Chain A
Amino acid sequence: NAGVMQNPRHLVRRRGQEARLRCSPMKGHSHVYWYRQLPEEGLKFMVYLQKENIIDESGMPKERFSAEFPKEGPSILRIQQVVRGDSAAYFCASSPGTGTGQEKLFFGSGTQLSVL
C-alpha cells in the first residue's frame, strides 16, 4: 500500500507563472488536506477536501490559490501568478475518515516550490 504520493518533489517557477501541485492520497482515503510550511515557520493548514467537495478552505489565500479533488485522479493545488512569497514546502495529507480512530493523518513528502 503506497503512501501519500506528491509530485513533483521540486518545482521551480518564475514570477507570474502557474504552479500545479499534485497529491494522490493513500488507497482507501477520501479525505485530503493541504498544508504549507514557510521557511522558519510551522506547518499551516490551507484547505480540506473530500472527493469533489471543498469542505474548509479557511487557510487558503482568497486570490490566486485554488484546490480540487476530482472524482477520478489526484488532488491538485493550483497557484496562479506565483510570487516569491509563495516559495515554501507544500504538504498533502490524507485520512480514511474523521471519526475517532480514523482521523490520523498520513503525510506525503511534500513539494518544494521555489519562485525565482
Chain B
Amino acid sequence: KQEVTQIPAALSVPEGENLVLNCSFTDSAIYNLQWFRQDPGKGLTSLLLIQSSQREQTSGRLNASLDKSSGRSTLYIAASQPGDSATYLCADKLNSGYSTLTFGKGTMLLVSP
C-alpha cells in the first residue's frame, strides 16, 4: 500500500526566504507526482506535475524535483511572499490510466510580511 509523507507538517518563514517542502513515498514505482496548493475553504490547485521519466518541473518561483529511486520529491519556493501562505499537498499516482492519487497530509506554510 502506497504511503505519502510530508515534512514538516507546518512551516513559518519571513517574507523573502527561500524554502523547501519535502514529500516521500513508499512505493518508488510511481507513474507521476503532483504538487497542489490548498487554500482554506477552497479546492486544490495543481501547481506542478512531474512524470516518472522527469527529474524536475519549474513554474515561476516554484521548482519541483523527483528522485524515484529514493522515493522523494521536493518543492522549492524562491523568494517567498505572504500570498504563498497555504497548505501544500503532494500526491502520487502509481499507474497509467485513471487517477487514483495518494495524498500526503500536507505542509501548512505561513509567510509573514
Q: What residues make up the interface of A, taking CB atoms closer than 8 Å to B?
A: 3-4, 6, 31, 33, 35, 40-45, 48, 55-56, 58-59, 91, 93, 95, 98-100, 103-110
Cα distance, A95 to B32, chains bound together (Å): 15
Cα distance, A16 to B97, chains bound together (Å): 37
Cβ of B12 within 8 Å of any chain A Cβ, yes or no, is no
Cα distance, A106 to B99, chains bound together (Å): 11
Interface with A: B14-22, B39-47, B58-66, B67-75, which one?
Answer: B39-47
Total of A-B residue pairs, C-beta within 8 Å: 71
Contacting residue for A109 out of B43, B93, B97, B106, CB 8 A: B43
Cα distance, A33 to B106, chains bound together (Å): 20
B interface bracket (residues with beta carbon within 8 Å of A) = 20 to 34
Listed by A's residue number, 5 A-B pairs whose Cβ atoms lie within 8 Å are A43-B91, A45-B102, A48-B99, A98-B98, A105-B46
Contacting residue for B99 out of A43, A58, A105, A110, CB 8 A: A105
Cα distance, A104 to B98, chains bound together (Å): 10
Cα distance, A95 to B101, chains bound together (Å): 13
Cβ of B110 within 8 Å of any chain A Cβ, yes or no, is no
- Would B99 and A42 count as touching, CB distance under 8 A? no
- Which A residues are CB-close (under 8 A) to B4? 42
